[in-house]
Structure 1
Amino acid sequence: MTTREVEEGHFVRQPNRFTERITADGTGGLPAEPGRYRLFVSYACPWAQRSMIVRRLLGLEDVIGLAVVDPIRDERGWRIPGRDPVTGVEFLSELYLRTDPSFVGRFTVPCVWDTVTERLVTNDFPAITTMMETEFTAHHRPGAPDLYPEALRPEIDELDRRVYTTVNNGVYKAGFATAQDAYEEAFDALFTTLDDLEERLAHRRYLLGDEITEADVRLYTTLARFDAVYYSHFKCNLRRLVDYPNLWAYARDLYAIPAFGETTDFDHIKRHYYVTHPHINPSGIVPKGPFLDWTAPHNRER
């Protein structure tokens, strides 16, 4: 998650500090060499789960290393249980400060560490997935999906601008608002978009048709957390995900794919949000519910 600042009651997300590129041949950045990079993630974080889903869909597990942090974050930031065996660090903050000793802000996931230059390359979460999709193509598994097809990129990017602003980041703008009008503005925009997506998915299996794309990855991670966290914890309580027949079936359809379902850890998700936001949940009590059957038939193939 990222640092939040509040301007007149509105949540403002911390800019990504590291934005160096990894390219197929190293032109304009670092080369996409197998075994060179290490991806730091949290199962709790929707931005980090995107990178885990894409890494697995494309078969990059043996190409890009993975380190998973503990879901409970304190003032020292994300902790790596038992220390990271590659970098030797116990806290993600150590890698940030090794790269930039003057860094001030929240230490965020996902981020990519370069084991050759021993510095953080990027914590620019939107770029991490598209980089995997477009610059590591020589290392994709046979038959890997084209998640960011060139012909659909304008449509994917246009849809993402709305989904990111009103849904992915919109739940945070509602949950972390400190003024009623800021909260209601985010709340209304969120459910307007969800209503439109519900209608869109009445006519197609995935957001852009019959094949999964980057757009589906980006929407899914918010949907997966919606009823468990955002509905109550962030006061996004006009409707639940399960109240949207198409969105709920669509989310279950994606969950049935191992790259999505096996990177969705509801225990990590709930413990992180309910324990590490004491200004919202001062008791730190983690709710037992909701009890949802994510494995129920979705029938989206029809």
Structure 2
Amino acid sequence: MSVTPQAAAHPATRPAVAFRGRIGRDRRSGHYAVPRRYRLHLSTACPQGLAIAVTHSLLSIGDTCPVTFLPAVPDCPDGHAALRPLYEASAHHYQGPALAPVLSDDWSGRIVSTHAPDIMRDLDEHFGDGRAALYPRAAEAALRDVERLCARDIDEAAQRAGRADAEPEERAEALETLLAALGELDRRLTGHDHVMGDQLSVADVVLWVALVQLDTVHRHHLDAHAVHRVADHPALWAHARRLTAHPAFGAHLDLDGIARRHHAGCRGLEAAGSAVQILDWAAHADGARPAHRP
């Protein structure tokens, strides 16, 4: 298992620790793929936790790898109190924040991984039934391209486009990067049911979470004209509506929790785009199974 420094998220201010153990891959750690040995600790108000929760539901592995859901906003100044014992058992004299998501080993009481992409891949590879793999091997490179596009050109670009302390030219450039990414994905989805064609894959999960963040968080810091331009991608947002009605997606959509997490950590200024909602997420999630969240 490797442990490396990682930037802390609100409300913690001290450096966190990233754990990168892999199920069935790290011989030194002994993390073999044993049913009910591992547990997920997730807050679905967090985009990484939401992506893992959706993946977990799509794989139907609730009996194989149980989930403990955490509050939208951490209950302590340095993270989640429930995760503190796991962090302290996993890193000597650990003084950093106890943040989610976490994949823990119930046998040892220690953390295996806090890295969402690794966790999602390992769940699919080692605990899925293989009949509807979310990581089709023939599309590995394309999947990674979509992951990078969503992280860099949608999420990061949207944050830069809404920064009140940035120069107008910087915000405009970031907005164009965001719109170019949305345009590329809109073209991918035109005439297709999913990002990778006809098969539901992790690319759909990652994109859906990015669009949730874009409309429920980042939109509040964009001007109204920018939000209208973001919304002008019909195939993309139609895809988001369809996925939200899917039980594995919509049942985990905690809009109140996302709002509370945003307000707890946001230091930016609200802009006119806050009044221009792109999707009525709650209405589209009505057909999904209800999911309780603390």
Q: TM-score, normalised by structure 2?
A: 0.79
Q: Aligned with 1:207: secondary structure?
A: coil
Shift of 1:133: 1.0
Distance 2:83 2:222 in 1: 26
Q: Is 1:217 the equivalent of 2:211?
A: no
Q: Which residue number in structure 2 is paired with residue 162 of structure 1?
A: 149
Judged with a 3 Å threshold, the aligned counterparts in structure 2 of structure 1 residues 63 and 3 are, in CA distance, closer, same or farther, namely same
Distance 2:28 2:192 in 1: 38
CA RMSD of aligned residues (A): 3.3
Shift of 1:74: 6.1
Deviations 1:187-242 (A, max 9, x none): 33222101221222113221110111111111101212322221014779713564
* Structure 1 letter corresponding to 2:183: D
1:135 aligns with one of 113, 126, 129: 126
1:275 aligns with one of 230, 247, 264: 264
Q: Which residue number in structure 2 is paired with residue 11 of structure 1?
A: none
Deviations 1:105-156 (A, max 9, x none): 554321111111211110011111111111224xx3xx85211011111211
Contact 1:56–1:259 (8 Å) recurs in 2: yes
> Number of residue pairs matched?
270
Contact 2:164–2:269 (8 Å) recurs in 1: no
Shift of 1:29: 4.8
Distance 1:4 1:179 in 2: 21
* Structure 1 letter corresponding to 2:123: M
Judged with a 3 Å threshold, the aligned counterparts in structure 2 of structure 1 residues 198 and 44 are, in CA distance, closer, same or farther, namely same
Judged with a 3 Å threshold, the aligned counterparts in structure 2 of structure 1 residues 108 and 175 are, in CA distance, closer, same or farther, namely farther
Q: Is 1:71 the equivalent of 2:58?
A: no
Distance 1:125 1:204 in 2: 27
Q: Which residue number in structure 2 is paired with residue 208 of structure 1?
A: 196
Q: Which residue number in structure 2 is paired with residue 120 of structure 1?
A: 111
Judged with a 3 Å threshold, the aligned counterparts in structure 2 of structure 1 residues 208 and 145 are, in CA distance, closer, same or farther, namely same
Q: Which residue number in structure 1 is paired with residue 51 of structure 2?
A: 50
Instruction: Could you tell me which runs of 5 or more consecutive residues in structure 1 were left unpaired when the two chains were aligned.
Output: 6-13, 80-89, 298-302
Whichever structure has more helix as a proportion of its residues is: 2
Q: Which residue number in structure 2 is paired with residue 82 of structure 1?
A: none
Contact 2:227–2:276 (8 Å) recurs in 1: no
Q: TM-score, normalised by structure 1?
A: 0.77
Aligned residues: percent identity? 27
* Structure 2 letter corresponding to 1:163: C
Judged with a 3 Å threshold, the aligned counterparts in structure 2 of structure 1 residues 119 and 28 are, in CA distance, closer, same or farther, namely closer
Q: Aligned with 2:48: secondary structure?
A: helix
